[in-house]
Structure 1
Amino acid sequence: MKKLILSAAIVLGSLTTMSAQEQTEKSTPAAETNTTEQATPATPTYTEIKLEEVPAAVTEALKKAYPEAVLNKASVNEKKEYQLAVKVGDKEGALYADETGKWIQK
């Protein structure tokens, strides 16, 4: 009787171990895929637009924050985020804002 119980315990233990290995093997590729996707985020593509197409909220925010700034170029992406090429004095740079005129750090 002792041998029967011991044999049953060994068989059940080995089945549990095999099941755990199968679950680990199935979940590993998905975990690797998620880390790869997070490591390389997609950069948004900006499309150049006419200066007249920039929302009034964005141009007003620019005038308020940088009264001396001259807007040279404007671009927008699919998220309605605007990239503004501006010149202040002899310095040039890019500013980013959403369609409501809120500044975005990039």
Structure 2
Amino acid sequence: MKKVIFVLALALGSMTAFAQNTENVEEAAAEVVAQDDFSEIAAEELPEAVTAAVATNYPTATIDKAYVNEAKQFKLEVSLEDGTSGTLYADESGNWIEM
């Protein structure tokens, strides 16, 4: 069930990116710049709360790459056993955030 939710979240995120009107293009560009301010870190450097959240919500997920920004938000590139992959965002307390 969690795999289905994960895939649906990825699909919804993809669809909303294309649903923006031209008035929001500048806002979207600013958001993309903010998302690109992540620096890569080793998965072992992730806070325990973040790794626990991944293990709890996505037990078959493997963290392929991890990134952190100045606000202590974490970008996680993960892959599931079934071959699907995606990106998750979490704060240092392990709460999921939308970017």
Q: TM-score range by the shorter chain?
A: 0.5 to 0.7
Matched, 1:92 2:66: no
User: 1:68 — aligned with what?
Assistant: 60
Q: Secondary structure of the equivalent of 2:66? A: strand
Q: Give the TM-score of the pair, scaled to structure 2.
A: 0.64
Q: Secondary structure of the equivalent of 1:68? A: coil
Separation of aligned partners in 2, 1:90 and 1:50: 22
Q: Which has the higher contact order (CA 8 A, sep 6+)?
A: 2
User: 1:51 — aligned with what?
Assistant: 43
Separation of aligned partners in 2, 1:73 and 1:67: 17
- Residue 96 of structure 2 aligns with an amino acid whose one-letter code is W
**Can you list the C-alpha shifts for 1:49-70, whole angstroms capped at 9, x where unaligned?**
0111000000000000000001
Aligned Cα root-mean-square deviation (Å): 1.5
**Can you list the C-alpha shifts for 1:47-106, whole angstroms capped at 9, x where unaligned?**
000111000000000000000001110000000000000001210110000000000012
Separation of aligned partners in 1, 2:73 and 2:53: 14
Aligned residues: 69
Separation of aligned partners in 1, 2:45 and 2:54: 15
- Residue 79 of structure 2 aligns with an amino acid whose one-letter code is K
Separation of aligned partners in 2, 1:82 and 1:43: 13
Larger Cα-atom Rg: 1
Q: Secondary structure of the equivalent of 1:43? A: helix
Separation of aligned partners in 2, 1:51 and 1:67: 16
Overall identity of the aligned pairs, in % = 42
Q: Give the TM-score of the pair, scaled to structure 1.
A: 0.60
